[in-house]
């Protein structure tokens, strides 16, 4: 059964990028200054269709700033960003969302005083909707999609509950559901497992895998939980002090000396410390 009330895409798509595929999201020379501090310094990277890519780096390395620049919450100081081949460098955040790029936030951003159901309906695809149609109640297909996603994310029982009353883990799931509502092609998840119990982390992992393999959704994950990254991602991109430090498969990254040094200092660390 399709939980989204929408046709599935290419089923069982591999999570590794096709070598000749055009990037879904591409950053060229992305630079961001806060005063004299370079939070991002000439970062080049690409996320491919149907891929799950990890973005890691020590605290303050520029991961969330990169997310903010990609989704246009922050303006870039230099460089260009392309999504589906469209230059979105000067787009507004809502225009980026209309194109099919969704995200979640490091600090959970749900509409806390509204119910789970209202939160979901408010996250529908707004692109291409005329002002006249906005003055209607939500159409049946939007409600069906919201119902399907709420069920897929195990939130049926709290559908009429105020979002602010949910547990941290449930709010994370709700935020993921809200990101999925407009049927995006790429979802940026910013620390989706932070503050979530291990059982729920497994649930989230399972849902991401299903969305990727069965529905062709691409993901870019910012994570500190390296096991989460290594289980899901085909490729990992490492940032340090706003610069690209390394890029490769999770195994390559875990053995990369520069990465180990960035995380644990020159003496390295125990493998379990990840």
Q: Does 111 bind other proteins (CB under 8 A)?
A: yes
Beta bridge partners of 239: 244
Instruction: With residue 28 as reference, give the H or E element that holds it.
Output: strand 25-34
Q: How near is the Cβ of 35 to other proteins at its closest, in Å?
A: 21
**Residue found under tokens 């225009």:** 95
**Rounded distance between C-alpha atoms, residue 172 and residue 208, angstroms:** 13
How many residues make contact with other proteins (CB under 8 A)? 47
Among 30, 39, 43, 110, contact with other proteins (rule: CB under 8 A): 110
CA separation for the pair 266, 153 (Å, rounded): 42
Shorter beta-carbon distance to other proteins: residue 59 or 135: 135
Q: Does 6 sit near other proteins (CB under 8 A)? A: no
Q: Which of residues 196-215 bind other proteins (CB under 8 A)?
A: 199-200, 203
Question: Which residue, 121, 186, 172, 115, is CA-closest to 147?
Answer: 121
- Return the residue of 50, 71, 171, 212 that touches other proteins, per CB under 8 A: 71
| Cβ neighbours around 2 below 10 Å, total | 11
Q: Which of 9, 28, 42, 138 is the binder for other proteins (CB under 8 A)?
A: 138
Interatomic CA distance for residues 11 and 73, integer angstroms: 33
Least Å from the CB of residue 125 to other proteins? 7
> Any contact of residue 173 with other proteins (CB under 8 A)?
yes
User: At 236, phi and psi to the nearest 5?
Assistant: -130, 140
Does 165 help bind other proteins (rule: CB under 8 A)?
A: yes
d(CA 253, CA 247) in angstroms, rounded, equals 7
> Do residues 69 and 30 make contact, with C-beta atoms less than 8 angstroms apart?
yes
Q: Which of 23, 169, 216, 248 binds other proteins (CB under 8 A)?
A: 169
Among 8, 113, 255, 273, binds other proteins (CB under 8 A): 113
Whether 258 and 56 have beta carbons less than 8 Å apart is answered as no
Tokens matching residue 124:
């529908």
Least CB distance from residue 154 to other proteins, whole Å?
A: 5
Which of 8, 109, 255, 258 forms a contact with other proteins (CB under 8 A)? 109
| Residues of this chain that bind other proteins (CB under 8 A) | 71, 73, 92-94, 97-98, 102-103, 105, 109-114, 118, 121-127, 131, 133-138, 154, 157-158, 161, 165-167, 169-170, 173, 178, 181-182, 199-200, 203
């Amino acid at each position: 059964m399709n939980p989204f009330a929408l046709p599935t895409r290419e089923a069982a798509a591999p999570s590794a990028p096709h070598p000749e595929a055009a990037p879904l999201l591409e950053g060229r020379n992305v630079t961001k200054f806060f005063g004299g501090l370079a939070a991002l310094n000439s970062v080049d990277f690409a996320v491919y269709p149907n891929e799950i890519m990890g973005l890691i780096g020590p605290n303050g390395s520029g991961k969330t700033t990169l997310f903010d620049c990609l989704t246009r919450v922050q303006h870039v100081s230099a460089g260009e960003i392309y999504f589906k081949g469209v230059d979105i460098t000067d787009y507004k955040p809502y225009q980026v969302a209309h194109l099919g790029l969704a995200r979640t936030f490091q600090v959970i951003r749900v509409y806390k005083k509204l119910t789970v159901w209202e939160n979901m309906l408010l996250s529908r695809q707004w692109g291409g909707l005329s002002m006249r149609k906005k003055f209607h109640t939500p159409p049946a297909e939007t409600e069906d999609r919201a119902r399907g996603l709420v069920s897929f994310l195990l939130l049926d029982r709290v559908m009429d509950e105020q979002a602010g009353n949910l547990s941290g883990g449930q709010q994370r799931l709700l935020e993921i559901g809200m990101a999925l509502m407009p049927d995006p092609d790429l979802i940026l998840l910013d620390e989706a497992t932070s503050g979530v119990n291990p059982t729920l982390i497994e649930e989230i992992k399972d849902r991401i895998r299903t969305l990727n393999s069965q529905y062709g959704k691409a993901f870019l994950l910012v994570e500190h939980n390296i096991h989460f990254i290594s289980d899901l991602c085909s490729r990992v991109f490492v940032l340090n002090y706003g610069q690209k430090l390394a890029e490769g498969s999770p195994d390559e990254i875990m053995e990369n000396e520069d990465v180990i040094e960035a995380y644990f200092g020159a003496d390295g660390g125990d493998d379990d410390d990840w």
